[in-house]
Amino acid sequence: MSVVPSSVSSQESVSLRFPTGFVWGAATASFQIEGATTVDGRTDSIWDEFCRRPGAVANGDTGEPGADHYRRYQADVDLMTSLGLGAYRFSVAWPRVRPDGGAVNPAGLDFYDRLVDALLAAGISPWATLYHWDLPQALEEAGGWTSRDTAYRFADYVDSVVERLGDRVAGWLTLNEPWCSAFAGYASGRHAPGVASPTAAVSAVHHLLLAHGLGMERIRAHAPGTPAGITLNLFPVAAVSPADEDAARRVDGLQNRIFLDPVLRGAYPDDVLMDLAPYGLAGLVRDGDMATIGTPVDMLGVNYYRPLLVAAPLVSPDEPSEWVGVEGVRFLPSGLPRTELGWEVSPAGLTDLLLRLRDEYPRLPLYITENGAAYPDAVGPDGQVRDTDRLAYLDGHLRAAHAALRQGVDLRGYFCWSLLDNLEWAEGYAKRFGLVHVDFETQARTVKESARWYAGVIARNGLPAA
């Protein structure tokens, strides 16, 4: 099965070529696509419980969320093959592998065995994310990420997964976007588990980072030589005016440096420790923690969606804030086009971010592990999905990535978010990020125009002239 790009000729000349061996892929997350939430021994995650709360998710109670990938994985692998993907980044569901955070569930591991084998049979490299937000609900009831013990339970879970799959997975990522887990999950409560406590959020930050370090040690034990790292959602941050620079510094500290510095430098930034002193960050650190968190990584996954233009707070917010210590901070528009989620589209911000990582942190291979956009896609009368906005978005961001490559950034790969339309967390099913349209009533898949275009980029390992 093959897909011929609709918007470019397969013979078209390439003006921007990517390095030989550049990894071209797409990404998903277990809770967003798998469905089958009550079969084969899987138990509740924090997102199952959260989705049942009235008003927590745009579409209400999701029942069995996702795109039924658990049952349809082979057909989805065939779709990946049709697009020419060289790699697929998926996440493993902790509640399948160790239900309730307890003993290993062989049926849960069997699913990922089948998925990895299907990918390899199709010539697609499996990239596994070990935690994409679906903490077992039983562990949340024991304290969740506010409890240090959860980091050690994560290490046990990593043992189980990597011991089983480590001989076949091409790349390991410990955590996806710990900022969201900590601050959206425990500060504002906008995400699962829906807790609103700045102190809890700061505790979650440290324990998530400790889990990352412990996970790295277990990956090294079971899969020596396989590249491993962490994925962070990173943002270029700028102040509106000199009066807003301290607010921008705090936002950059909470969004970017609170994770980058411990992982890549082995220490929290001094200014962040001072900013978060009222919430006890320094007191959470025990002997040996920072060495564990700073266990050398082989790569850094970068999730990029938009920049942040920061203005100082006017008043404290009426609702819980994700911005601990700088509550009420304002993010102002720059006048750029926006996606359906209201996120400004700034390809130049991706170049800036990659250059910052090159200049300010130890050099290591970088992978764009998520980049994409939500638009109001629909299947037309002719059966096609003409998502020209997404196509333009991807084109602009790939050109921005290439600009960073030309300036010496060691960028090794790009994973589009997402392969499939899915449950977009608290936004429900209405916000579509996929290269492939999913009808959530029938589970029919329709390849979008952007996917055909991306298949052409992959086939040529480059972009045509602008």
Tell me the backbone φ, ψ of residue 214, rounded to 5 degrees. Answer: -65, -40
Which residues have C-beta within 8 Å of that of residue 443, sequence separation ≥ 6?
A: 67, 68, 72
Give the residue among 288, 220, 300 at the shortest CA–CA distance from 264: 300
Catalytic residue among 140, 322, 344, 370: 370
Catalytic residue among 177, 344, 424, 449: 177
Burial class (CB in 10 A: 0-12, 13-18, 19+), 461: middle
| For residue 45, cis peptide bond before it (omega within 30 degrees of 0) | no
DSSP-assigned beta bridge partners for residue 129: 91, 173
SS3 325: coil
Which residues have C-beta within 8 Å of that of residue 9, sequence separation ≥ 6?
A: none
Neighbours of 388 (CB within 10 A): 13
Tell me, yes or no, if 177 is annotated catalytic. Answer: yes
What's the CA gap between 29 and 45, in Å, rounded? Answer: 13
CA distances to 14, 30, 90, 209, 292 from 42, in Å: 47, 12, 17, 26, 30
Q: What is the DSSP letter of 279?
A: G
Tell me, yes or no, if 344 is annotated catalytic. Answer: no
Is the CA virtual torsion 282, 248, 184, 24 positive or negative? negative
Place of tokens 């962070």: 232
The residues annotated as belonging to the active site are 177, 370
